[in-house]
């Protein structure tokens, strides 16, 4: 099966399969996330967004109208492909869909600059601040097709077997200024 098959090309029995119970531990050991492929309403509009707003560059084009973008060294980080059945509407908030994908940046100063740039471009920001789970500071927004994107820094790192940080008590931190002015403890 073609990795970049459209939804219509994937047999429904493939989509609806039940996963059998495990009889042994999984041999999968993820090293890092690789790339994401998005079906979009307008590939050229999405290319402009990802290259002009997020600083990706086009690494390849496909005869079918798809494009590959790179930003971190791999041939492609994001694939953009036309969606033949796309409507003009963004899927409902609780629909089965991609929730979001996140990309790490160098630090909170960069997030301040990113937030200002997104505002200048009229990109709708849906959240900024520090997340309680993972302890990372982020700016979240949507692309032209409504995909939820997150740029983050300072995610807690967990060694094998290490417990995660307890959820911080008190109010949520819902601005970059509050995240900067209320640093999380370095250890827990």
Residues 105 and 40 in one domain: no
- What is the tally of structural domains in the chain? 2
CA gap 60, 42 in Å, rounded: 17
CA gap 75, 28 in Å, rounded: 23
Question: Is the pLDDT confidence value at 12 over 80?
Answer: no
What pLDDT does 43 receive? 96
Helix residue ranges per DSSP H, 11-168: 12-15, 43-52, 108-121
Higher pLDDT among residues 59 and 133, named by residue:
59
What pLDDT does 134 receive? 85
What pLDDT does 4 receive? 41
- Residue numbers of the domain that contains 114: 92-158+171-183
CA gap 44, 81 in Å, rounded: 10
Domain boundary among 18, 53, 83: 83
Structural domain contains residue 10: no
Q: How many other CB atoms sit within 10 Å of the CB of residue 72?
A: 12
The mean pLDDT value of the chain amounts to 84
Give CA separation, 10 vs 4, 5, 6, 13, in Å.
10, 7, 7, 9
What pLDDT does 172 receive? 82
């Amino acid at each position: 099966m073609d990795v970049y098959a459209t939804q219509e090309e994937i047999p429904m029995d493939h989509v609806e399969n039940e996963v059998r119970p495990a009889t042994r531990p999984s041999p999968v050991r993820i090293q890092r996330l690789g790339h994401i492929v998005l079906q979009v309403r307008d590939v050229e509009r999405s290319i402009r967004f990802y290259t002009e707003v997020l600083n990706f560059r086009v690494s390849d084009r496909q005869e079918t109208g798809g494009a590959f973008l790179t930003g971190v060294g791999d041939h492609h980080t994001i694939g953009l492909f036309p969606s033949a059945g796309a409507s003009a509407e963004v899927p409902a908030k609780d629909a089965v869909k991609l929730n979001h994908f996140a990309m790490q940046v160098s630090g909170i100063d960069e997030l301040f600059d990113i937030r200002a740039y997104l505002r200048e471009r009229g990109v709708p920001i849906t959240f900024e601040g520090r997340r309680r789970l993972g302890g990372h500071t982020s700016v979240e927004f949507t692309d032209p097709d409504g995909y939820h994107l997150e740029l983050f820094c300072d995610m807690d790192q967990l060694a094998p077997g290490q417990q995660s940080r307890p959820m911080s008590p008190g109010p949520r931190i819902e601005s970059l200024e509050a995240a900067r002015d209320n640093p999380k403890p370095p250890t827990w």
